[in-house]
Structure 1
Amino acid sequence: MSFELPALPYADTALEPHISANTLSFHHGKHHNAYVTNLNKLIEGTDFAGKSLEDIMKATAGDAAKAGVFNNAAQVWNHTFYWHSMSPNGGGKPSGALADKIDADFGSFDAFAEAFKTAGATQFGSGWAWLVLNADGKLEVVKTANAECPLTAGKTPLLTMDVWEHAYYLDYQNRRPDYIATFLSSLVNWDFAAQNFAAATA
């Protein structure tokens, strides 16, 4: 079974005016789709054919000889996770158990937000900002370069923000901090993050 490009969980226009249909068309239809196409070509006829994205990522992480397979598999996974990390009715603050955990581990929601903004703004070049649950049960904000994913380091991703230029450049040009602020104020899908947190702590 080859991998397929998953549909967006909302219409191309659903995140406007914060992220344009033009950006989603290129980002999902061109960039994400290219990773799917490349991965399928790379794993055809290999031991990776038929394995899950997660298994492929874990088996190839840190292996320079398999960097192409890892980069494409991780980017398929990261992008799919990113689409769900946003919502047409997103933004604001979480509630319930995740909100309590953020307050406990960061001191306040505002402290979390500052850490998340800093991670995204200081990721040099391409990469991602994440809210993760560590194996020790503590929440943490981390940033990863290029296709790297916290999953391969034993962390459980709850939420991600893409800070590759193609995620925001058509709408924000070089103003990455404005995109990051908008992500938190108007796009972030706290319901998705809460579901991931509940599943990880069940």
Structure 2
Amino acid sequence: MLATKTIAALATRRVPGSIRLKHTVPDLPYDYNELEPVISAKIMHLHHDKHHAAYVAGLNAAEEKLAEAQHRKDLAGQVALQPLINFHGGGHVNHSIFWTNLIGEKNGGGHLHASPLKTAIEAQYGSLGALSQVVNAKTAGIFGSGWGWVTYNPAIGGLDVVTTANQDMPSTLGHVPLLGIDAWEHAYYLDYNNVKADYFKNIWRVVNWKDVARRYDEAVAHQKK
């Protein structure tokens, strides 16, 4: 339900004159080769320019059909479009988070600085290394395609590790996404072939912990309101 609400909110964006705003692929906050050797520039071009762009195109097309169905007051048509909107919308949202979750090693990737997030990780998991082992084990267990996540779980008032299938978002579980690891083959296969365990191990070298910590701070502040 939360995922549906999130995507529905995206679908109802308007500007004066009732012109629907189309979604666009956000620019990467770094060069395509920034994450090498962990993730190659070749994968980044394919992943960002092709795969993410395909989700955005699919979302825009589905929203056009949704607007038409709403205009016709076709409730059945609106309901039938929701899985498509959730899939492409989830792909767009998840990847938009993913790009900002990463940064090159030379620019601080992999460094967990002193912060409330670091305190929370050490309190709940003992160390960043222990957390990464939990995340990698759960993510490696995904059957098919999906995502591994470090989230803020309002139900427990702390961090949690979950996985989602395909392009489902953590909000479907009531969680706030902090760090996402894309476990779809297109995220790693050109570099790691079938040894995805090495991809899961190496990606921690390019995690942008400043971004993750900011998301954690915002999640905690929101719950306190």
TM-score, normalization: structure 2? 0.79
**Corresponding residue of 1:182:** 202
**Corresponding residue of 1:55:** none
C-alpha distance after superposition, 1:43-99 (max 9, x if no partner): 015359xxxxxxxxxxx9xx7752111100000000110111111131143432111
Of the candidates 15, 25, 45, which is equivalent to residue 45 of structure 2? 25
**What SS does the corresponding residue of 2:33 show, helix, strand or coil?**
coil
In structure 2, stretches of 5+ residues that fail to align are 1-20, 69-77
Residue 13, structure 1, aligned to residue 33, structure 2: yes
Residue 134, structure 1, aligned to residue 134, structure 2: no
**Corresponding residue of 1:80:** 96
**Corresponding residue of 1:97:** 116
**Corresponding residue of 1:38:** 58
Residue 201, structure 1, aligned to residue 220, structure 2: yes
Identity across matched positions, percent? 39
Residue 67, structure 1, aligned to residue 83, structure 2: yes
Equivalents in 1 of 2:64, 2:100: separation in Å? 28
**Corresponding residue of 1:153:** 173
C-alpha distance after superposition, 1:24-50 (max 9, x if no partner): 1110000000110111111015359xx
Letter of the 1:13 partner, please give it.
Answer: N
**Corresponding residue of 1:51:** none
C-alpha distance after superposition, 1:140-188 (max 9, x if no partner): 111111011112322111111101000000011001010011011x111
**What SS does the corresponding residue of 2:178 show, helix, strand or coil?**
strand
In structure 1, stretches of 5+ residues that fail to align are 49-59
For this pair of structures, how many residues does the alignment match? Answer: 189
TM-score, normalization: structure 1? 0.87
Equivalents in 1 of 2:28, 2:152: separation in Å? 25
Letter of the 1:161 partner, please give it.
Answer: I
Residue 165, structure 1, aligned to residue 185, structure 2: yes
